[in-house]
Structure 1
Amino acid sequence: MSTEPTASGPTTSGGTTASSTLEAVAGAPVTGAPPVVEPEHAKRRGAGRNLPAAIAVGAGLGGLLIVAVFVVPVAFPVVAAIAMVLAMLELTRALSHAGLQLPPVPLLVGVIGMVVSTVVFGAEGLLISTAAAVCVLILWRVSESMGLSALRDVAGGVFALAWVPFLGCFLLLLFAREQGEMLVLLAVLGPVGNDIGGYIAGVLLGKHPMAPRISPKKSWEGFAGSLLLGTAAVTAVGSLALDLPWWAGVAIGVVLVLVSTGGDLAQSLLKRDLGIKDMGHLLPGHGGVLDRVDSILLAAPTTYVMLEVLLP
């Protein structure tokens, strides 16, 4: 997830208290928690994270992706499945802050089943396995208890299945196509360019907050940097490696940056509502796996659809 520091910096962040979480578990209405004032160091202009660790982890993840996609392509579905399982665990734990008790077993089995079905049967397999995972989730949860809490948990589980494995499996659909390796790279470069361009421009030029109540460190200057680098990276790969018309590369690049930025803001709003800073702590300098792949989860289906529309 990108962080784009601005000169003005963040001042407050929303969250839920332990008592409000207990109220949510009991089924009582959750009242708004008072704003939490962030420490002074968070207001200073800077990375807002361990930059050396973030660079090292980012380089390691990039290397892992390159190896899995280009060197050992048979390993790519396995890597994707592991990433989705970890992201699902993080999301399940995060939603528990809102009182949702998502059953992990049907969700994790659903992730694996959706990955395998997509690899073997393609888009039809993804649709059928998603429907099956939702049915199993409903039956599993209502067998434990009924009532409003079960309805909330089922809704949260369907949201989790739709966000992580369903969207993530579009990377596998791209990978299965002709020149699939480069298509996966295309879908990943949009969010990566969005993050890097936004970070650099935000640090150097950021003065005007983009959405101060949602993500105070995002700036319009950072968004301009995201748009520039993200579009340039996608256009370069599309034109040089995939022989796409330049206008198609530009169109895909611009849309991927917009989708990635929207995904960043949406997850920031979700984390603010849940009262957490990161979805996890597995990746130093980045937070959790879901913090790192949130934009890619949206970019993959966007790339798939745009290729179908622009180049049928």
Structure 2
Amino acid sequence: MTAQPHPAEPSGPEREPARRRSGVADAPATTGIGPLPRPGDGTGPTVRAGQLPRPPLPPLPPRPVVRPEQVTGPGTVGLRWDAEDDTPAGEPAQPAGGHRDDDPDGAPPLTAVPDAPGHEVTGEAPVDTPSGAPRVTGRAGRDMAAAIGVGLALGGTVIAALLIWRPAFLLVLTVAVVISIVELTGALRNGGHQTPRAPVLVGAVAMVALAWTRGPSGLVVAFLLTVFAVLLWRLGDGPLGYLRDASAGVFVALYVPLLAGFAVLLLVPDDGVARVLAFIATVVCSDVGGFAAGVLFGKHPMAPTVSPKKSWEGLAGSVAACVAIGVLLMTLTFHGPWWGGALFGVAIALTATLGDLGESLLKRDLGIKDMGDLLPGHGGLMDRMDSLLPSAAVAWLVLSAVAPV
């Protein structure tokens, strides 16, 4: 069967009547928008057969305005803003919460994303915690209630050991030194230093014992024997990294047990309990005075790359508090000159601050926040020994000069 060719569409004057006869031009649209416009009649664009004009898109709904305090969720760090924005027109809005220690002229960062480090900077608690209840943290991002409770427990243990039986303080100090060595060597090993731990632990016990029984000479001899033992112990692991690991072992022996031995030397005289208590009380005043002055007046960072929250105003507060208690202790307890108490206070304030900065520098080099997690609100025990260890040596030297036995 032969296919018939499709008739050609008429053109010219005969095209429009043919389209009307076929019902294309006058057919109503099935979309409810009325008849299609005809070409050339001025009612709209020319529409070919089979094409329908698109209806206009509906306007988009307005986007909801989400305030920062509405952003919550698991693992979200939310900062608190005021419920009402009272900022005058034309001025940038300022979130509540005060200034930061590391940026005195700026506001807290707008961190409302998972795992954002905003609470470490501003001291604000995260919105959600694993226990379901928000934690109360201080400006350092720590649980202040736990920190205060642990601090009181540690202080009570030390005071009880000193007042009940002096040798009991040696046991408390030895336990603290052993735990601190374990924490410090563990942090160094995580940083790639295979520090010999066993000879340092044995040497620490020997330093405490010989400092109590033989005085300064016994402490020095025990330290030298510990250094020799560390060098020999590390030979068993071969030459690779020997200098690095042996140096780390000697550093730990010097930093923890040797400096702690000076606290034992403070305890040796008949008034040793008063000397140890004076040393610890002055270090505590340094921490409290520096914290209070830094919070109230801190504007100029002392070492922003090491510890951004330490300020020169905080150091001035530490010196003032230490000088005040040093003068009182020297004149009332040791019956020495007032200037000796002022010298004692200044020396303790400086060494306590340098000890804290030194451990902060060490932790930043190792890329850690705390040496351990033994003490809630504090970190590790080594984090509490940082300012006490160098201050013990300076306290023994100054008291031996201005208040000799």
Give the letter aligned to residue 113 of structure 1: A
1:95-145 CA distances to partner (integer Å, 9 max, x unpaired)? 113210112211111111111111121111111111111111111111221
- For structure 1, list consecutive stretches of 5 or more residues without a partner in the other structure: 1-5, 12-36
Residue of 65, 68, 72 corresponding to 2:165: 72
- Look at both structures and tell me which one has the larger radius of gyration over its CA atoms: 2
**Whole-Å Cα distance in 2 between the matches of residues 130 and 206 of structure 1?**
40
Q: Does 1:302 align with 2:380?
A: no
Q: Does 1:198 align with 2:290?
A: yes
- The Cα of 1:59 is off from its aligned counterpart by 0.8
State the partner residue of 1:145: 238
Q: Which has the higher contact order (CA 8 A, sep 6+)?
A: 1
How many residues in Structure 1 have an aligned counterpart in Structure 2? 281
**What are the within-5 Å matches in structure 2 for residues 97-108 of structure 1?**
97-108=190-201
| Residue identity (%) | 44
**Whole-Å Cα distance in 1 between the matches of residues 356 and 116 of structure 2?**
20
Check whether the contact 2:102–2:301 (CA below 8 A) recurs between aligned residues: no
- The Cα of 1:47 is off from its aligned counterpart by 3.8
Check whether the contact 2:181–2:256 (CA below 8 A) recurs between aligned residues: yes
Q: Could you say what secondary structure the match of 1:218 adopts?
A: strand
Check whether the contact 2:334–2:403 (CA below 8 A) recurs between aligned residues: no
1:242-283 CA distances to partner (integer Å, 9 max, x unpaired)? 212111011110111011111111111111111000111111
Residue of 181, 184, 188 corresponding to 2:273: 181
Q: Could you say what secondary structure the match of 2:309 adopts?
A: strand
- After TM superposition, the score normalised by the length of structure 1 is 0.85
**Whole-Å Cα distance in 1 between the matches of residues 99 and 321 of structure 2?**
21
- The Cα of 1:87 is off from its aligned counterpart by 0.6
Residue of 164, 185, 188 corresponding to 2:256: 164
1:175-229 CA distances to partner (integer Å, 9 max, x unpaired)? 0013101111122122211111111222222222221111001122222221122
Q: Does 1:154 align with 2:246?
A: yes
Check whether the contact 1:9–1:42 (CA below 8 A) recurs between aligned residues: no
1:137-183 CA distances to partner (integer Å, 9 max, x unpaired)? 11111122123x11111100000000100010000001001310111
**What are the within-5 Å matches in structure 2 for residues 1-312 of structure 1?**
7-10=99-102, 39-44=117-122, 46-147=139-240, 149-311=241-403
- After TM superposition, the score normalised by the length of structure 2 is 0.66
Deviates more, 1:95-104 or 1:149-158: 95-104
Which structure 1 residue ranges, 4+ long, deviate > 4 Å from structure 2? Answer: none
Check whether the contact 1:232–1:250 (CA below 8 A) recurs between aligned residues: yes
Aligned-pair Cα RMSD in Å: 1.8
- For structure 2, list consecutive stretches of 5 or more residues without a partner in the other structure: 1-97, 104-114, 124-138
